[in-house]
Structure 1
Amino acid sequence: MRTAKNEDLTEPGGHGGQWQAVYEGLQKGIISGKYRSGVRLIEDDIIEATGATRHAVRKAFDELVRLGLAVRYPHRGVQVRSFSESEIWQIYEVRECLELKAISYYTEPAAKELVRKLKAVVSDHERAIANNDLAEMYLQNNLLHEAIYQRCENQFLLEAIKHHSLLSHLIHTNSVQSKDLRSKGAKDHLTMIQAIEKGDQKTLARTLRNHIRTFRDYYLQHLTS
């Protein structure tokens, strides 16, 4: 599969000649499902669509490969990455370890300001679900989890969580979309916020663990069905 031509790969207001803008546009296309696993990213098509230099496009490709969103094959160029069953298990195993560590700091009731912020993001996430907007769902889901995990104040841990969340979202966009799964995910978010508000670390950890495993199992079932 080839990259569709004449796609707007730059963010609104971005600088088309800069590799960051090309990368951000490609990343958005990947996480929104526009460029699915196995799609070959064609340099000339992206240069034509963005007006970027070949050097900028290649640097954007390098960043996609570095982050695990794409793979470079000899004589075949760069393709959007796909994941094996074993890789999905490994990604979600790492996510569970990292995210459970991040929430271990919630041993007391959270500040009201944080709870209000989390509830506002949940509302935006639910709106994205209702609109079936995958890119916005990814954005709001990340904003929510990042706001929750900031409590740990460990930037290395937060960066690792962000990276594995990006990989798992690529798995998400290449799976059959389930309204029931999305609904359960939204309910999990509300339960987590209630636990944070009360300082109920056990409920928070149990809900997060089940949340991660439910999505993992769904994707594995789809992969092997």
Structure 2
Amino acid sequence: MTSISTYIKNDLAARLRSGRALPASLTLDALAHHYDVSFTPVRHAIAELVKEGLLQKGSNRRLTPVKLPVSTKAGAKLDACEPSSLPKPPQDPYDGIVNDLVQQSLQGEAIYLREEATAEKYGLSRSAIRHIFHRLAGEGMLNHIPRHGWQLRPFRQSDLEAFIDVREVLELKALDLSRDQLCNEQLQRMLEANTQPSSSPTAPPRIDESLHSYLIEASQNVYIREFFERQGRYYRLLFEWEDRDRSTALETARQHREILAALLNQDWARARQELSYHIRDHHPVFSQIAQAVNSNHKHTANPGDPA
């Protein structure tokens, strides 16, 4: 994946070589604002562009483009090794940050996150990090503590088990309430969207999680819907992360197909049984992590501490 600094460097290089429009100013502050990042990736990009002879620093330390040969200007044929179009921006940093925070959350520690340090770590501006933090607060991953900043929600196996207890009751109830509202065409679409890979033994399966939200919406029960909207977001992030484990993802796709096949056949007893099994017995990764965390806590405890 292209880093932020590499993208900035490649974007500016393409503009300088082809004569395309540059950001309004080449100052450090203006470029950081233009790309919505911190100063660090801009500094790295500028250093590379100066080294390659595309930018130069004047006696007043201001950056100016180096005058290039006419053959590289706009309207002329570009060298084969030079980019003919502007590079695409790197992927949304949200996914990478979520992945890191989930793994920290799974350590079971309620740590505090500083906007400035996190922005520096990921090469983003503080405003961009603040936007992501607010988004994660809405998902239940972070809590905003007045005068203290952002606190990462720690994973607790006991919390997961309590959530699963309530989730099982409410989703089974949603299934019962939604029987007359289910559409076979939508069920068939979801069945086909959960597939095992056939092209390669290492290829990831396709997973469609929309079955759960479909049953909840079809139940037309506002209290069931509100529970999952308020309490389910944090665990949804964890479950999506857990499905990155290939064996878990394969089992997720298989279990979804079993539930959907039973619904299509209107075999309600089997559908309830398969749904219950899927909800209750499908979190091996979390169980292993909880065991590892508990074991680590025991090893690091003081000899006089109670076990």
112-121 vs 182-191, which moves further: 112-121
Taking the aligned partners of 2:97 and 2:198, their CA distance within structure 1 comes to 21
What is the RMSD of the two structures over their aligned residues, measured on CA atoms? Answer: 4.2
Taking the aligned partners of 1:106 and 1:186, their CA distance within structure 2 comes to 22
What is the match of residue 21 of structure 1? Answer: none
Taking the aligned partners of 1:176 and 1:124, their CA distance within structure 2 comes to 14
Taking the aligned partners of 1:183 and 1:59, their CA distance within structure 2 comes to 34
Q: CA deviation at 1:50?
A: 5.4
Is the contact made by 2:204 and 2:246 (CA closer than 8 Å) also made in structure 1? no
168-177 vs 98-107, which moves further: 168-177
Q: CA separation of 1:171/1:111 partners in 2, compared to 1, >3 Å: closer, same or farther? A: closer
Q: CA separation of 1:176/1:207 partners in 2, compared to 1, >3 Å: closer, same or farther? A: closer
Counterpart of 2:188 (choices 89, 100, 116) is: 116
Q: CA deviation at 1:165?
A: 3.9
Taking the aligned partners of 2:192 and 2:243, their CA distance within structure 1 comes to 28
Q: How does 1:14-163 map to 2 (within 5 A)?
A: 28-29=95-96, 31=98, 33-35=99-101, 36-38=103-105, 41-44=113-116, 45-46=118-119, 53=127, 58=130, 61-62=133-134, 64-65=136-137, 67-72=139-144, 77-107=149-179, 110-123=182-195, 132=204, 140-141=208-209, 143-163=210-230
Unpaired segments ≥5 residues, structure 1: 8-15, 18-24
Per-residue CA deviation, residues 33-75 of structure 1 (Å, 9 max, x unaligned), is 143325754323549955574xx86576355335421134687
Percent of residue pairs identical: 19
Is the contact made by 2:143 and 2:150 (CA closer than 8 Å) also made in structure 1? yes
Q: CA deviation at 1:201?
A: 1.6
Q: CA separation of 1:97/1:40 partners in 2, compared to 1, >3 Å: closer, same or farther? A: same
What is the match of residue 10 of structure 1? Answer: none
Equivalent position amino acid for 2:141 in 1: L
Instruction: Provide the aligned length of Structure 1 versus Structure 2.
Output: 197
Q: CA deviation at 1:188?
A: 1.0
Q: Is 1:192 paired with 2:259?
A: yes
Taking the aligned partners of 1:187 and 1:147, their CA distance within structure 2 comes to 18
What is the match of residue 167 of structure 1? Answer: 234
Q: CA separation of 1:80/1:65 partners in 2, compared to 1, >3 Å: closer, same or farther? A: same
Q: CA separation of 1:106/1:155 partners in 2, compared to 1, >3 Å: closer, same or farther? A: closer
Normalising by the residue count of structure 2, what TM-score does the alignment of the two structures yield? 0.49
Equivalent position amino acid for 2:279 in 1: I
Taking the aligned partners of 2:204 and 2:230, their CA distance within structure 1 comes to 24
Per-residue CA deviation, residues 161-207 of structure 1 (Å, 9 max, x unaligned), is 24444322344467696433322221111111111112222111111
Larger radius of gyration between Structure 1 and Structure 2: 2
Unpaired segments ≥5 residues, structure 2: 6-34, 37-91, 106-110, 293-307
What is the match of residue 12 of structure 1? Answer: none
Q: CA separation of 1:177/1:124 partners in 2, compared to 1, >3 Å: closer, same or farther? A: closer
Taking the aligned partners of 1:201 and 1:30, their CA distance within structure 2 comes to 40
Counterpart of 1:204 (choices 271, 274, 288) is: 271
